[in-house]
């Protein structure tokens, strides 16, 4: 009898394994990764608008956070027909959601209470999104947590929690969305929000669990970019530097903020709006040949 799918093969069975093989797109016109229509519009304004057009419906996890809300607005400005916010507490930003509905009356804008580590809950939420909005055409994964602690003192339970939310949570959401996209047969875009912490050790705060969780996302997006391109699904990451949000405010962080700014060629932290260009690009028609890429948006911090 074969072992259940959740079990790994025993040592004696290793030599009799039959490994699965990736299937890549052939890039033909009839494939899910066809070349674009090379005919340029006669109207230059129309061409400019269409180049960064966001089509269809986008899920934004952690969408009730500052970065998530700004991204939602940017995606709607560029043509998204629907936005679904996944967050553990979307009710905290109900006023902002209502304001988006007034600003974009033609768009469908909704929110669900979602724990990204709950596999069944995420699957149900994606299905509900498809039913409510008509399709799922993209996802931007902002949901995440950070913990700063000396590694000698860190409880392993904290390590596991950070990786469970930041890394496994992204995989759960990406898998559920990809399955929906495959059912639709329309492809789409998956964007993980990683971090400069995936590229270098932060200073001066110790945060090994967070750094590892974000570094894992860089490899995850590369693996999924390779596996899922044949379905017309592009998977990329954005690696922000220190962003000027409530997470980086307070007197207790004043000295750290000075150090972060002093070690950055731009001399400051980033504004949430400065992340939206990468978010829109990867979700838009301008990003159809961007797959497996990581966009570092950090003011030059990682050049040192």
pLDDT at residue 11 greater than cutoff 90: no
For the cut 60, the answer to whether the pLDDT of residue 4 exceeds it is no
Candidates 123, 279, 87, 89; CA nearest to 191 is: 279
The yes-or-no answer on residue 210 being catalytic is yes
Say which residue the tokens 């929110």 belong to.
Answer: 111
Q: Which of 210, 231, 242, 289 is catalytic?
A: 210
- Map tokens 């899910």 to a residue: 32
pTM: 0.92
Whether 31 and 56 have beta carbons less than 8 Å apart is answered as no
Mean pLDDT of 279-283: 98
Q: How sure is the predictor about 218, in pLDDT bands with cuts at 50, 70 and 90?
A: very high
- pLDDT tens by residue, 176-212: 999 999 999 999 999 999 999 999 999 998 999 999 9
Give pLDDT tens digits for 22-67.
Answer: 999 999 999 999 998 877 778 888 888 888 999 999 999 999 999 9
Distance CA 275, CA 53 (A): 17
pLDDT at position 40, please?
75
Give the model's pLDDT for residue 217.
Answer: 98
Distance CA 132, CA 119 (A): 20
pLDDT per residue over 134-152, tens digit each? 999 999 999 999 989 999 9
Instruction: State how far the Cα of 32 lies from the Cα of 74, in Å rounded to an integer.
Output: 26
Decide if pLDDT at 243 tops 60: yes
How far apart (Å, rounded) are the C-alpha atoms in residues 69 and 62?
9
Rounded to whole angstroms, the Cα distance separating 84 from 110 reads: 5
pLDDT at 7: 65
Domains (range + CATH), the chain: 53-303 (3.40.50.720)
**Residue 13 confidence (pLDDT):** 79
d(CA 246, CA 237): 23
Per-residue b/e over 61-96, b at no fewer than 16 CB within 10 Å?
Answer: bbbbbbbbbbbbbbbbebbbbbbbbbbeebeebeeb
- Given a cut of 60, whether residue 278 has pLDDT beyond it is yes
The band of 1, judged by pLDDT with boundaries at 50, 70 and 90, is very low
Pairing of strands 188-193, 138-141: parallel
Break the chain down into helix, strand, coil percent, rounded to 5: 45, 15, 40
């Amino acid at each position: 009898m074969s072992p259940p799918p959740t079990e790994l093969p025993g040592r004696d069975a290793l030599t009799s394994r039959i490994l699965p093989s990736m299937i890549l797109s052939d890039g033909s016109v009839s494939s899910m990764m066809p070349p674009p229509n090379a005919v340029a519009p006669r109207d230059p304004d129309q061409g400019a608008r269409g180049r960064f057009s966001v089509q269809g419906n986008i899920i934004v996890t952690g969408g009730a956070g500052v970065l998530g809300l700004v991204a939602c607005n940017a995606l709607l400005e560029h043509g998204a027909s629907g936005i679904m916010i996944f967050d553990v507490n979307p009710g905290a930003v109900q006023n902002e959601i209502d304001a988006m509905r007034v600003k974009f009356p033609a768009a469908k804008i909704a929110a669900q209470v979602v724990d990204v580590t709950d596999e069944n809950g995420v699957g149900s939420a994606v299905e509900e999104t498809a039913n409510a909005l008509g399709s799922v055409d993209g996802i931007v994964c902002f949901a995440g947590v950070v913990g700063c602690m000396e590694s000698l003192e860190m409880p392993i339970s904290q390590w596991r929690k950070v990786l469970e939310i930041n890394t496994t949570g992204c995989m759960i959401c990406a898998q559920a969305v990809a399955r929906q996209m495959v059912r639709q047969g329309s492809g789409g875009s998956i964007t993980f929000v990683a971090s400069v912490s995936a590229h270098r050790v932060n200073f001066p705060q110790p945060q090994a669990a967070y750094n590892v969780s974000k570094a894992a996302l860089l490899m995850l997006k590369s693996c999924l970019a390779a596996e899922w391109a044949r379905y017309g699904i592009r998977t990329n990451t954005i690696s922000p530097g220190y962003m000027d949000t409530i997470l980086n405010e307070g007197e207790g962080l004043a000295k750290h903020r000075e150090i972060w700014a002093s070690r950055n060629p731009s001399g400051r932290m980033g504004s949430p709006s400065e992340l939206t260009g990468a978010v829109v690009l990867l979700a838009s028609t301008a990003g159809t040949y961007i797959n497996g890429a990581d966009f570092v948006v950090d003011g030059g911090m990682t050049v040192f």
